[in-house]
Amino acid sequence: MKGIFHIILTMLTVLLILAPQTNSLLTLESLPAVLLLLLGAFIGSLTPDIDKGKDAAIYHSEIPGAGGKKFHLTPMFGYSIYYTCYKPLQLIFRIIFGKKIYAIHGHRELPHSPIGILLISVLLTLYIWLICFALSFVPYLAFLNNNYLIYHFGAAFLLGCFLHLIEDTCDNSGIHYFYPFSFSRLRGTIKGDGTDINPTVYAVILLFAAVIIFSLTILKFIPAQFAYPLSLLVPIVLWVIFLRASGVPAKKAIRE
Ligand SMILES: [Zn+2]
């Protein structure tokens, strides 16, 4: 699936998760947490494609589909994650599992697997923790030491990566969920080149759902005790429907 669809589908899913919490999130104190959640999910939504080569969206500051607008944090994270997380992990996997860890067809390998995104997220969070720890010795920056927002960012990053895997499961290349132990892929029938209408339809449905829940929450039609169940259930139910609508599980396609 193309980078632009990963960004749109992931960010809309995150908004849908946050929508029932709107009343508690619309405060000045929660602003840093919300911004870091969105940033983590955004970077995470593009990260699995670091194994795709240098034309992947994460290595470029141009925001796809945003008319030339640039976001310089994207390539900064892209190259940092490539050299400090992906390459060291790939080397360790190569030593343990041998040459079979490389994708034979197509690009999807370590960063396109659950174990890969989990390890990359843990490593990235650890690096950020260490940088914040070092900075905490600077006057006025002591609050950075073991700040809970570091974990917020790490969790949102992992969620962004996980949603990328779910999105790629819909297309005909699929995802090997048991990599590196098994290379059989769970896949759908959507073409990954952006010509299929389905991702656009899914985006519209996610947007509608987010707007409806956001409005109901603001108008206090949703009791507070339903906020967390709704945050969890609505995105899960919608994504199960999207996966089925994408033909998952499909038989192996011609293209890997
Ligand atoms: Zn991908």
Centre of ligand 1 to C-alpha 45, Å, is 9
Centre of ligand 1 to C-alpha 168, Å, is 6
191-228 pLDDT, tens digit each: 888 889 999 999 999 999 999 999 999 999 998 899 99
**pLDDT greater than 70 at residue 105:** no
Within-domain flag for 139: yes
Whose CA is closest to 1, among 165, 111, 118, 162?
Answer: 165
Centre of ligand 1 to C-alpha 111, Å, is 9
Burial of 44 (0-12, 13-18, 19+ CB in 10 A): buried
**pLDDT greater than 70 at residue 101:** yes
pTM: 0.94
Centre of ligand 1 to C-alpha 36, Å, is 23
Q: What is the mean pLDDT of residues 93-101?
A: 89
Work out the percent of the chain whose per-residue pLDDT is above 90: 80
Q: Return d(Cα 179, Cα 117) in angstroms, integer.
A: 11
What is the number of structural domains in the chain?
1
**pLDDT greater than 50 at residue 256:** no
Centre of ligand 1 to C-alpha 90, Å, is 17
Tell me, what's the pLDDT at 251? Answer: 84
Centre of ligand 1 to C-alpha 149, Å, is 27
Domain containing 160 equals 3-245
Within-domain flag for 43: yes
Within-domain flag for 208: yes
Within-domain flag for 255: no
Q: Return d(Cα 22, Cα 221) in angstroms, integer.
A: 12
Centre of ligand 1 to C-alpha 1, Å, is 6
